[in-house]
Structure 1
Amino acid sequence: MSEGPFDTTFRVGEVTDAEEFPATNKPEMAKLKIDLGDEEVQSVAQTGYNYDPAELVGRQVLCATNLGSVRIAGYESEVLTVGVPDEEGHPVLVAPDEGVPLGGELY
């Protein structure tokens, strides 16, 4: 069976590396490497309004997986790092209140 929108899984990962991504010409963008427990994936996320890349390392985040990958300014983003808008419309990352096992699925 092929992957599709109904195969999307939301999993917890830990950011292992984060850096600004000036190649997008948007200062709020960052390149992230995320450990999902059984694999490490890459993501491009709009984090610059609320987070410094250095403070993201070690943080747990929620990722939408099985969406397929997309190339953004030459960098392959394999998962969607999930956020919700703050009062100014800038993303705030979604994460568990306390540490949970990496790769755990949202249900």
Structure 2
Amino acid sequence: MEENNELISWSDFAKIEMRVGTVVSAEIFNEAIKPAYKITVDFGDFGIKKTSAQITKLYSPSEIIGKQVIAVVNFPAKQIANIQSECLILGAVDEDEVTLLTTDKLVKNGLKIG
């Protein structure tokens, strides 16, 4: 995997809106080219957003429902097959496996990561 060692400024980092949300639904995304799930995440006061995630190697849909995740919520919407992805759930990437970034304690949906 190629590394990007370019330094960013604090103001660059501050532009990234990362929030905690709870997965409220997850299902197999049959229309996706690579194995993925369609996921809906509740960000509290920041709304409910849809996305897809290629996390099928380590997680089943039932395993992630109710899990709190960390996501970037201020990317423009992106068309992925037949859904508009409205956020990017974050994870640690190891070749083709993705481990979700989560909270270690239950927190309020919508809390900002900083």
Q: Which residue of 2 aligns with 1:12?
A: 20
**Max Rg structure:** 2
State whether structure 2 residue 81 is matched by structure 1 residue 69: no
RMSD: 1.7
Q: For the residues of structure 2 that align with 1:94 and 1:13, how far apart are their CA atoms?
A: 11
How many pairs does the alignment contain?
102
**Following TM superposition, by how much is the alpha carbon of 1:69 offset from its aligned partner in structure 2, in angstroms?**
0.6
Per-residue deviation at 1:99? 0.6
| Aligned partner of residue 102 in structure 1, secondary structure | coil
State whether residues 5 and 67 of structure 1, in contact with CA within 8 Å, keep that contact through their aligned partners in structure 2.
Answer: no
Give the superposition deviation at 1:26.
Answer: 1.9
Structure 1 unmatched ranges of 5 or more: none
Shift of 1:8: 2.1
TM-score scaled to structure 2, two decimals? 0.83
Residue segments in structure 2 that go unaligned for 5+ positions in a row: 1-11
Q: TM-score, normalised by structure 1?
A: 0.88
Specify which structure has the higher proportion of strand.
1
| Contact 1:65-1:80 within 8 A present in 2 as well | yes
% identical equivalent positions: 33
